Amino acid sequence: MKFSKYHGAGNDFIHVDGMNARRDWSALAVPMCERNIGAGADGLIVAEPSKHADIFMRVFNADGSEAEMCGNGIRAFAKYVVEEGMVKPRGDRLHVETIAGDIFLTLVQAGGSVIGATVDMGPPRFVPSEIPVAVEARPPVLDLPVPVESAAYAVSCVSMGNPHAVHFIDSAVAEFPLREVGPRIEHHPLFPARVNFEVAQVLDRRHIQSRTLERGVGETQACGTGACAIMVSARLHGWVDDEVEVNEPGGVLTLRWDGTSNVFLTGPAVFVYRGEWPD
């Protein structure tokens, strides 16, 4: 089976053509994404036909679980399906169906290649049952204490098509014990569908540094929906303006949100290599 690997700000994905193929993608994602003896990636993305959009994107995490959406993955996916000739964009616009709903992208092109995109990520969701987070509270849920052993971590809860819990700190994010704390937050009973956990430091009104532990993956170089959740949470606190750069270990993502409508995410899409996976 042929595949192609791409990344968006270091968040890397294996892409495969599922337009005419039917496989157990969940089971296949685990060995393909394994970094020591597989192709190595944060997730497997499958292109399938859509009845109403240009194409349908399915995302499988490295542990085989299926994700609703992926902000970095959808930019890489757009580059893959356009440059492989699977779809023809309408000018610079692409309409992608996902489990989380329909997503519209504005492609950034140079020299005949897609080098990035601005993604209309839709509106953030704050109602606890829609995130989901198991609390009875008026939305938005900000600074919710999550007890982990002898400590409690205040998190702001947002859905960007998938669930996020954002923890803000005053010190450098590189010093935070994300790999120890993150899995405990991910699997905490407060989050019935598990959760993506972000730790973020607001540097000024236009710049944030962050790290993410993704549900079903572990720590990643970047997370597009996570960057959206961080920006939205910071703006709800009154700490940032309508446009922010979120600096993650793998690169910089630009977020726009006016506090009332949809969130827009801009970032790169980069080809890595092509290969064949033995059946």
Is residue 228 annotated as part of the catalytic site, yes or no? no
In the chain the first and final C-alpha atoms are separated, in Å, by 7
Whole-angstrom distance, CA of residue 257 vs CA of residue 92: 22
Q: Which residues contact 266 (CB under 8 A, 6 or more apart)?
A: 108, 116, 117, 118, 119, 253, 254, 255, 256
Question: What confidence tier does 22 reach under pLDDT thresholds 50, 70, 90?
Answer: confident
- The pLDDT tens digits of the residues spanning 171-215 come to 999 999 999 999 999 999 999 999 999 999 999 999 999 999 999
Q: Say which of 33, 70, 157, 228 is annotated catalytic.
A: 70
Question: Which domains does the chain possess?
Answer: 2-122+267-276 (3.10.310.10), 128-261 (3.10.310.10)
Is residue 70 annotated as part of the catalytic site, yes or no? yes
Whole-angstrom distance, CA of residue 256 vs CA of residue 251: 17
Report the amino acid identity of residue 63.
D
The CA dihedral of 120, 109, 16, 267, to the nearest 10 degrees, is -50
Q: Give the residue among 225, 171, 218, 236 at the shortest CA–CA distance from 199.
A: 171
- The pLDDT tens digits of the residues spanning 67-108 come to 999 999 999 999 999 999 999 998 999 999 999 999 999 999
